[in-house]
Amino acid sequence: MHFHDTHFHLDLMKDPEAVVQQIESNKCYTIAVTNSPSVFFYSKRLSLDTKYLRAALGFHPELVAERYQELPKYLDLLPQTRYIGEVGLDNYQKTTADFHKQLVVFKKIIESCRTSGDKIITIHSRKAEKEVLQIIGPNFPGKIILHWYSGPLKLLDTALNYGYYFSVNKRMLNSQNGRKILQKLPVDRILLESDAPFTLSPNQKYHSILFQEMVSELASLKDFAPNEMFIYLNKNFKRLIETIK
């Protein structure tokens, strides 16, 4: 049984090299997101010669204000990977100046990805879901994943009509708001993510058993048998990584 993890912070794990070996051993297709352009090189190096790990080029919105000057470097690196993330917007307790810089950076990233075509982008959208949807819009020539979506239910239909996916982690399954969102999502738009190490308890280890538990909980929530849910999730991931022709 091959699981997938569309949002995982490899560089922030305690022993990244050991985790890479575990990912390969468990045959878990994994997208290692990064938080700034400078970190991308490390994750990319660890992903070389692996079958199940891909490094994503990220620029986390909460770091944009202090690393704004890295935008040109980020745009120069875009051709090196199909995988983009973590990028997006975060307007939770942010100043107007901070959020303005985020908007400038995110618009430029999306514009560049639109030109490149066929990018897979995992997006942070806390308290800025409406702006994210407006900037990306419909008919984007790539694949969009809204990571750990926690916004208004009324915006889900717009995102679904635009063809976006939603990645789900254990914390989302354990929250009342998260479960409401999942109940509304069609099963063919759901992907798995760990967002490790942020979702792990102090003594909890990153392991494929996390995904087994998530599949079982998702199956129960959506009234499917666990094996049926796994088949749907597997199809979703395969569709995600298919090259757009």
Task: Give the chain's domains with CATH numbers.
Answer: 4-241 (3.20.20.140)
The pLDDT tens digits for 138-179 are 999 999 999 999 999 999 999 999 999 999 999 999 999 999
> Residues, the chain, total?
245
Pick the closest to residue 142 from 158, 108, 165 (CA basis). 165
Q: Calculate the average pLDDT of the chain.
A: 95
Determine if residue 7 is labeled as part of a ligand binding site.
yes
Burial status of residue 187 (CB atoms within 10 A of its CB: 0-12, 13-18, 19 or more): middle
How confident is the model over 24-28, as a mean pLDDT? Answer: 95
Element (H, E) at 168: strand 165-168
Determine if residue 9 is labeled as part of a ligand binding site.
yes
pLDDT value for 204: 86
Check: pTM over 0.85? Answer yes or no: yes
pLDDT value for 240: 97
Determine if residue 4 is labeled as part of a ligand binding site.
no
CB atoms within 10 A of CB 151: 19
Extract the tokens encoding 214. 């998530």
Determine if residue 100 is labeled as part of a ligand binding site.
no
Determine if residue 207 is labeled as part of a ligand binding site.
no
Amino acid in the structure at residue 36: S
Scan for tokens 């208004």, then name that residue: 152
pLDDT value for 169: 96
Determine if residue 2 is labeled as part of a ligand binding site.
no
The pLDDT tens digits for 81-113 are 999 999 999 999 999 999 999 999 999 999 999
Residue 65 has pLDDT above 70, yes or no: yes
Residue 244 has pLDDT above 70, yes or no: no
